[in-house]
Structure 1
Amino acid sequence: MTRPRAASQRFVAQLPTRVRSRVEVIYSPILEIKPLPVKIDTSGVRGLILTSANAVNAAVSLGVSRHLPAFCVGPATTGTAKGAGWEATMVGATAEELVAFLLKHRPESPLLHLRGEHTRGNIALRLTESGLTVREQAVYQQRLLPLTPEATAAADGLLPVIAPLFSPRTARQFADIWTGSAPLWLAAISQATADPLYSLDYARLKIAKEPTPKKMQKAVKKLVKHAMRVEGNETTD
């Protein structure tokens, strides 16, 4: 599992018991999330845009007001925001869907997009250019990490390795650091995440039908089934 430990454990816990019983789970985060030591000015802001659970967690640690409505991408971000006390609304499964929703419904602005240092989509710029004033502020950093010794050993082994990738940046990092000879089975949460992986020598690449945890779980489930059928062996994840 390549996500930060807590997110990886949540994902694994939601897999069917039969799938978990057939693999050895290896946690090897290749991205570390840390809140930035910044002050957030919400004066005049009429709502928040939250596009990741990491942004929600950083906002909590930075003391951002819970009285602002939050427009969120995806069920995980929305659930995390609601759990933290925000009046959160899921307005799409992707940044594109969020932009379309906000331009159609045009809530009171200005809005504030809380994001990581590295982000895609230019949400604030695109919305502002379309007449909906949106500011943005980076509230967490994403530091790339190497594979753990345990993951490196699995990569150099004989058993098939199933690697779920959840963002284009982590996919690029994985493609850069993977040097293993083990049979490689990949699951990507989106086409943009899959693109950096085509340079790898893999047995199979499965792209989730939608960029959601539920669809990624289905992709991993299918990979486990196919890998075990082909290899006739225990797999590592």
Structure 2
Amino acid sequence: MTATVLLTRPADQSARFADALHERLGAAVPVLIAPVMRIVTDPDAAARALRGAGGAIFTSENGVAACSEAAVPHGLPAFCVGPRTAEAAAARGFAVRSGPGDAAGLAATIAEAGWPTGAPPLVHLHGAHVTGDLAGALAAAGIAARGTVVYDQRATPLGQDALALLAGRRAVVVPLFSPRSARLVAPELVRARAPLRIAAISPAVATALNVHSAAKPQVQVAASPDAEAMLEAVARLWENGSFLER
């Protein structure tokens, strides 16, 4: 039987991933979008944070979205976690430099760029829920940096369609893109009766999930922390899971 892909990212990001998945595997792949969080941006906080900043740090497109009403100085540097975020920042007028897809790699990218001593600080525009302290790590390495919350990732419960899917007999593939989304969806995965196949974008997400359920989920970590690697992981799990049922 055909497995269903359950997408729990915020609605816009889930829709974009669903489009990419259908382009890769065909339009017949069943996809259910059921966000476990919604993004609420704070444009005023973003505008204040950019005043006097020497550059911006973005670890999510959501941080860029929060700058929608900010006056971005022409050519203001922006260090971005990966190419998707860099593309969004470039569209807002930032002079972007892209990292390899994770915070540790981005910190290395910033260090390699050699931020000048005495220059105005870099500002990490991030969400209310973060893993680690990127600005603190940079400051400890002698790079002037500070962090500012410019959006919130507000939890929302899984809808009835998603709960029914997890209670069923058909296999379900669940891509997880952040430790927070993993923690939010974990209680429902614990109760799931459906055979589960989980794709985690990083080891940190797999660790945050920590699911022990009757479904005995298979967890596969993407080869790299980016959308393309997640597409590959989900495609592989979907193809392997489409003939499983209880």
Spell out the pairing of 1:1-237 with structure 2 (5 A cutoff).
1-17=7-23, 19-36=25-42, 38=45, 39-60=47-68, 62-67=69-74, 68-108=76-116, 109=119, 110-178=121-189, 179-201=191-213, 202-231=216-245
SS at match of 2:219: strand
Say if 1:34 and 1:140, in contact at 8 Å, map to a contact too. Answer: yes
What amino acid does structure 2 have at the position aligned with 1:160? Answer: A
Say if 2:168 and 2:194, in contact at 8 Å, map to a contact too. Answer: yes
How far apart, CA to CA, are the structure 1 residues paired with 2:97 and 2:221?
A: 26
RMSD: 1.9
Unaligned runs of 5+ residues in structure 2 are 1-6
How far apart, CA to CA, are the structure 2 residues paired with 1:43 and 1:31?
A: 29
What amino acid does structure 2 have at the position aligned with 1:182? Answer: A
Unaligned runs of 5+ residues in structure 1 are none
What amino acid does structure 2 have at the position aligned with 1:144? Answer: A
What amino acid does structure 1 have at the position aligned with 2:131? Answer: R
How far apart, CA to CA, are the structure 1 residues paired with 2:71 and 2:125?
A: 10
How far apart, CA to CA, are the structure 2 residues paired with 1:198 and 1:51?
A: 24
What amino acid does structure 2 have at the position aligned with 1:90? Answer: S
Q: For 1:176-195, what per-residue CA distance to the aligned partner results, in whole angstroms no more than 9, with x for missing partners?
A: 23322111111100011011
Say if 2:163 and 2:188, in contact at 8 Å, map to a contact too. Answer: no
How far apart, CA to CA, are the structure 2 residues paired with 1:186 and 1:20?
A: 20
TM-score (norm 1): 0.90
Cα offset, 1:66, TM superposition:
4.5
Residues 196 and 112 (structure 1), Cα distance of their counterparts in 2 relative to 1, 3 Å cut: closer
Say if 2:171 and 2:244, in contact at 8 Å, map to a contact too. Answer: no
Deviation beyond 6 Å, 4+ runs, structure 1: none
Residues 176 and 84 (structure 1), Cα distance of their counterparts in 2 relative to 1, 3 Å cut: same
Say if 2:175 and 2:198, in contact at 8 Å, map to a contact too. Answer: yes
Say if 1:40 and 1:64, in contact at 8 Å, map to a contact too. Answer: no
What amino acid does structure 2 have at the position aligned with 1:166? Answer: F
TM-score (norm 2): 0.87
Q: Identity percentage over the alignment? A: 35
How far apart, CA to CA, are the structure 1 residues paired with 2:170 and 2:156?
A: 23
What amino acid does structure 2 have at the position aligned with 1:207? Answer: V
